[in-house]
Structure 1
């Protein structure tokens, strides 16, 4: 038997209809439901995370409404949920033959194609969806994601702006736009956009937040703080704004203020390892090593894989000349982040201070491999060799450094000192002239390393010629 048409709008009616449907199944009977009722029963099972039952409902729905394209779309959606991709494609084809103007067909097919890395085909489908959709913001966002996957960030920006034109309050689009501007290193353009956006939407906390982020990347810390303050004013519990405001204060070297702001994040979310680590760094900058170490320890207790926290503990011990103890923590950091030149450098320095020359050499060589443009590593490594009486090795290291960093006057001035100490006076003078051509303002570096050269008449005469 067929029941009368059955519609419902309230949750109670929906549940009643589900009960009638399940009664029909139990009785092996056949009642009639209109298309809207069937859709809601399907959605009920989807919400219950029971796609198998939802698919069964779709089968019944199609037996009663064989030309309703929406049910083929629902079936495709459920096939996607149950990883039956080929069947999903077939259902979307059937839906398209019945109703070519249904945007859901093209959105779902676009999703499937995108998951298969068929980006160009996905874009074609999303563009079709745009032709028929009344609300376009989510489709524009999907198109932007595809362009991001293709590395076409300029195109992504175009569609993110279209998304925001359709829905000015779309938070995800605002954050993705900030990401694209960041990748393209177009912070000024980003600032211009967010300022214009805020003129129209002055209470958008996300816009103020992203404006602050753009300012912070340009090291315009005062303006960044103002932007974060507006974001916090609009959304008092905006923990991320407090955190980034703390970062801006660090940029201004206002470390105690930064600590207080970082602490405010704990009023709105659970303490996390990264924030503890940032607080530790602030105390480290203030040379309050006990407090710094305490916060670094809190950080690694929450996240034992946070290399920066272990490294921070090592730095505090190094500062207190507890070099042997620092080694353990530097090694721990390197176990987690073996390609970090800063960690290798610190390890080498500790070994050097302990007189473990061979281990220091190995660490320094790793730094040169990972960060050959770091001027300090060439200076420190060559200095270690020079102080060990290995003048030729020191000169060789510095020569290699100069090949890679030809504009670094610091390396030339240090080379002058090594060559003079090695009795290679003419070569030393040649390097001195190159150093003075490169940067005469840094000539004091020569005397910092080898003070006795202040009494060398030849050196002084050359300096006077370039500096006066």
Structure 2
């Protein structure tokens, strides 16, 4: 039992808190103490829970249930050896108390001995008539072990006992998704919905499975049913909007997203999607209006600033785009996409050193797209840093072996440094893999293209 301000059962709590203020020790029966301690633990008020536990055991020193609260706090504070010792004593006094087994399992779990935790919890099942909580705890232990099939089985047992246990439903779907069993998830959800046709959570999850499988019409129908079941379900309207975007029904998507703004505080995500839809409809003034709203609603959301950057980049207003991408970088300087955009804008503005710095950072953050290597290397050539360009392209070859665009560039660089043997090697490789890119030599290295040696190789092989 928990206390609420409207509940007459909060009298023991009021009495207890009054006692703490006056230091006059009052008597409470053990059940009242249990409710007081339970309330404080639920509220996360551990210090008050500990005071209540101490006073309760002073008045009821033989109460197993009160001692179990003490164990629970010990486990929470990682005093595992003390808790384990106390549990062993309590087990001798009350060997059929399921809570003893639950706390024992908690200790095993905290020690990463999840198999032993499961074994203890399974023993506890035989001691209770209501095993739902135990099934859930076992399911969580299997999740810790990455044993998703077993976890799924136990969460399903929870849902069989209590069909409003949406936490277990979410965990079941999580297991299906982790195992890439999307069709099985759909079958399970349809079976569940046969028995619970107005369960908005199940319809919502069903829609998400169809969305993964790109079956957009079925996904849309599922989200519609979720909304019929609960017309205030913000998540269903958002997902419905995503599907309508996939179907290129942008005006309908806008309407779905707009409803969420009336049901809850404005969501930066919804505003962003509305802006994107208006941009798709070529209603640029409205798109800009909503992108700007995103940055006002949540200035710390980098996606809003990225949207504004791309908007002005497409309009070739590179100075504004640079201003907005700098705002995005101030929020998140570890995002490769932002750095790549930063580089592309600086390149357009002919700020080559800044552009090269951005591409370098993009690579450091794990964006190994061929275009990123090529762009950075070409900038290093333009900046008169051939050795750095060579190092860049040689790294790129590790990711893209036998790529002619890289090999012609390396050939040009080595010839320009009079390392003719290496130049010949890469030039012949480039010609072997793709003759069509031979123009790179003339375009990036005109002096090299005029060398007799290079002309002869090109003439012989083209």
Structure 2 counterparts to residues 11-26 of structure 1, below 5 A: 15=11
| RMSD over aligned Cα atoms | 4.4
* 1:132 partner SS: coil
Is residue 79–residue 85 contact of structure 1 (8 Å, CA) maintained in 2?
yes
CA pair 365-77 structure 1, distance change in 2 beyond 3 A:
closer
Q: Number of residues paired by the alignment?
A: 423
Q: Look up the match of 1:186.
A: 181
Distance between the aligned counterparts of 1:83 and 1:426, measured in 2? 64
Would you say the 8 A contact 2:336–2:367 is kept in 1?
A: no
Task: Determine the C-alpha separation between the residues in 2 that align with 1:370 and 1:18.
Answer: 56
2:35 aligned residue (22, 34, 43): 43
Asked whether the 8 Å contact 1:69–1:96 carries over to 2, the reply is: no
Q: CA deviation digits over 1:123-173, x for unaligned, max 9? A: 333222222222222222222222323333333222222222222221001
Change (3 A) 1:332 1:120: farther
Q: Distance in 2 between matches of 1:426 and 1:41?
A: 84
Q: 1:402 to 1:281 in 2, by over 3 A?
A: farther
- How many angstroms does 1:42 deviate by? 3.1
Instruction: Work out the CA distance in 2 between the residues paired with 1:346 and 1:353.
Output: 11
Provide the residue aligned with 2:260 in structure 1: 265
1:279 corresponding residue in structure 2: 274
CA contact (8 A) 2:253 2:277 kept: yes
User: 8 Å contact 2:274–2:290 — kept in the other structure?
Assistant: yes
Q: 1:414 to 1:166 in 2, by over 3 A?
A: same
User: How far off its partner does 1:383 sit?
Assistant: 6.8
TM-score (norm 1): 0.74
For residue 133 of structure 1, give the secondary structure of its aligned residue in structure 2. coil
Is residue 230 from structure 1 mapped to residue 222 from structure 2 by the alignment? no
Deviation at 1:306, TM superposition (A): 0.9
Q: 1:255: which partner in 2?
A: 250
* Residue matched to 1:57: 56
After superposition, the C-alpha distances for 1:167-215 in whole angstroms (9 at most, x for unaligned) are 2221001112222333333322322222222223222221111111112
Residue deviations 1:310-350 (CA, integer Å, cap 9, x gap) = 11121122122221221122122223333322212211111
Q: Which residue of 1 aligns with 2:193?
A: 198
Partners of 1:17 and 1:365 lie apart in 2 by: 62
Q: Are positions 1:208 and 2:206 aligned together?
A: no
Return the alpha-carbon distance in structure 2 between the equivalents of residues 388 and 80 of structure 1: 62
Describe the SS at the equivalent of 1:197: helix
- Equivalent positions of 1:392-431 (< 5 A) are 401=396, 403-405=398-400
User: Matches of 2:299 and 2:351 in 1, distance apart?
Assistant: 29
- Aligned mates of 2:182, 2:333 — CA distance in 1: 31
- Superposition TM-score, scaled by structure 2 size: 0.74
Q: Can you give the 5+ residue segments of structure 2 that lack an aligned partner in the other structure?
A: 1-6, 416-422, 444-460
The answer as to 2:139 corresponding to 1:144 is yes
